[in-house]
Amino acid sequence: MKHDHGTKDLGDSRLIIAVAVNAVLTVAQFIGGIISGSLSLIADALHNLSDAASLGIALFARKIGRKPADPFKTFGYKRAEIIAALINLVILIIVGLYLIYEAIWRFIRPEAIEGWTVVIVAGIALLVDIITATLTYSMSKKSMNIRAAFLHNVADALASIGVIVAGTLILLYGWYWVDTVMTLVIAGYVLWQSFAMLPNTIHLLMEGTPEQLSISDVITEMENVEGVENVHHIHIWQLDEHHNALEAHVVIKQHTLSDIEHIKTILKQRLHSQFEIDHSTLEIELKGNDCYTTYDKCVQNIPNSPATHSEHD
């Protein structure tokens, strides 16, 4: 446990360093963009600002996500990281749309650009982007939250390369229009990147079935357990990126209490080993007294239920 705590602290330290470095770089890029007149450099600065913000949000959500479950959040707070990922993706989309808007205006009103300033500042930005990516890469493999922040950074590194190319072409050939084209390329990549991750993030927040699982396969595997007649009213969702949950009604033959417990144990073991479902809630129903057709039938089978009394009234 001490090792795990140390790993978390190291991850937090990496994120704090990354936020600080990107914040300083953003200021430098803005100043460089204003001095040189380069829209692509200002675009890179805006994207870098979103990097710093995304890393800050990721760090904040990471800390919240460690809070244990309580009476208000009985499943815990891990989904804070998924919400952070969604916020970061929305920020990326807004930045991308804004860059397109600015690029269109630059086509209408072109401006002279100081190439050397663009190349030097973008070169420094690329170095910082590489350092930041190195800090967050290993963490991004296990967290959608950090992965969204990491993708921010990768996009910014590519943007810095693009800005360097644009500055070089301006120096060599005086092609000022390349700066505007590069801005559009950066914006396009940012939007493509954001919309690629957005569906998975929303799917998880909407408690969708994990993409790698098939409900029909799960039902088949459960019904293959000896003594199980039918499985219905089944729901599968993700508590967070790494933990799947299931609830289902299971119809079995008439059995003793020990037989019921044995079947439940086998079902839970198979759900865990075959489908990586860590949390399962199984409602056992005896054959002949089950409710897998309709809710009304289920209610009518319950002694002293309102529906039962209404039939006699």
pLDDT tens for each residue of the chain, 313 residues long: 444 444 455 567 777 887 787 788 788 878 877 887 777 677 777 767 777 777 787 778 778 877 887 888 877 777 787 888 888 788 878 878 887 887 787 777 766 667 777 788 778 878 877 877 777 777 777 776 677 767 767 777 777 787 788 878 888 887 778 878 877 887 887 788 788 888 888 888 888 888 888 999 999 999 999 889 999 999 999 887 778 999 999 998 867 888 888 899 999 999 999 999 988 999 988 876 655 444 444 444 434 434 334 343 4
pLDDT of residue 219: 93
Q: How much is the pLDDT for 201?
A: 85
- What's the CA gap between 280 and 263, in Å, rounded? 13
How much is the pLDDT for 234?
A: 93
pLDDT for 275 equals 92
The confidence score (pLDDT) of residue 47 equals 67
Per-residue pLDDT, 144: 67
Domains of the chain by range and CATH? Answer: 2-205 (1.20.1510.10), 215-312 (3.30.70.1350)
Tokens 């940012």 label which residue?
190
Q: What is the pLDDT of residue 1?
A: 43
Q: Is the pTM of this model over 0.85?
A: no
Amino acid identity for residue 306 in this structure: P
pLDDT of residue 58: 75
